[in-house]
A and B are shown apart, each in its own frame.
Chain A
Amino acid sequence: DGGITQSPKYLFRKEGQNVTLSCEQNLNHDAMYWYRQDPGQGLRLIYYSQIVNDFQKGDIAEGYSVSREKKESFPLTVTSAQKNPTAFYLCASSNPPGGANQPQHFGDGTRLSIL
């Protein structure tokens, strides 16, 4: 079945540690996205990539980094510079909009907490 796989489901980070969240999709989508979700708030865009080897900062990119070396993979690294990393992280993918309905499809998320 086609879909988006995020791993791990739960992740704990120690002070000063970088951690990487995995996102893989087999939907053959060109565009991929990372969002952060905090209680009582909407999804906020961290980074997005519309094509392999290219990505752009979203609204809250500070303390995060990404890479897009393969079409199907878009890992997110939460660096030690991100002082408040505890949140639910969602990865999504879509085909670029072309005047048609192109919804983003989401993975099941990774819940990150600080130890």
Chain B
Amino acid sequence: GQNIDQPTEMTATEGAIVQINCTYQTSGFNGLFWYQQHAGEAPTFLSYNVLDGLEEKGRFSSFLSRSKGYSYLLLKELQMKDSASYLCAVRDQSNKLIFGAGTRLAVHP
């Protein structure tokens, strides 16, 4: 079956760094996406990885290891507005997105 695992909840301090992990087992692999979703709102696209390695985009970076079925999202210089759910999604061999349940991040002062 297809499975994407990520922690349910995390907490971190304003100004700190947090790493959100995602492991996956899917039917084929055509890229991994990270989305941010504030409560009651639409998910917004953060990053995309299809090759192994690190992709950096401002305060956010995402890493992928295809051999390990593993990705992480790294958030630096945390701000209160970063409190949200972070969704990991893998595009499978039929080009459908398979989503994890999301990680709810709470940033506190």
Mark A residues whose CB is within 8 Å of B: 33, 35, 40-45, 48, 58, 88, 90, 96-97, 101, 103-109, 111
Q: Known interface pairs A43-B87, A106-B44, A109-B42. Does A97 touch B33 (Cβ–Cβ under 8 Å)? A: no
User: In whole angstroms, how far apart are the Cα atoms of A69 and B95 in the complex?
Assistant: 22
B97 within 8 A of A: yes
Chain A: minimal CB distance from B17 (Å): 24
Interface string of B90-109 (1 = CB under 8 A from A): 01000111111110000000
B27 to chain A, nearest CB (A): 12
Given A106-B42, A108-B42, A109-B42, the answer on whether A101 and B48 have CB atoms closer than 8 Å is yes
Residue from B45, B96, B99 in contact with A103 in the complex, judged by beta carbons closer than 8 Å:
B45
A41 contacts which chain B residues (CB < 8 A)?
101
Provide the main secondary structure of the chain B interface: loop
A43-B87, A103-B48 are contacts. A90–B101 as well, Cβ < 8 Å? no
**B41 contacts A97, CB within 8 Å?**
no
- B4 adjacent to chain A (CB < 8 Å): yes
Given contacts A58-B96, A97-B91, A101-B48, A42 and B43 within 8 Å (CB-CB):
no
Contact mask B32-74 → A, CB, 8 Å, 1/0? 0100000011111100101000000000000000000000000
What residues of B have a CB within 8 angstroms of the CB of A108 in the complex?
Answer: 41-42
Query: How close is B43's CB to chain A, nearest CB, in angstroms?
Result: 5
Q: Is B31 an interface residue (CB 8 A)?
A: yes
> Are A45 and B31 within 8 A (Cβ)?
no
Contacts of A35 in B (CB 8 A): 99
CA distance A40 to B101 in the complex (A): 6
Docked-complex contact B48 and A42, CB < 8 angstroms: no
**How close is A91's CB to chain B, nearest CB, in angstroms?**
9
**Distance A108 CA – B100 CA, assembled complex (angstroms):** 19
Give the docked Cα–Cα distance between A37 and B43 (Å): 11
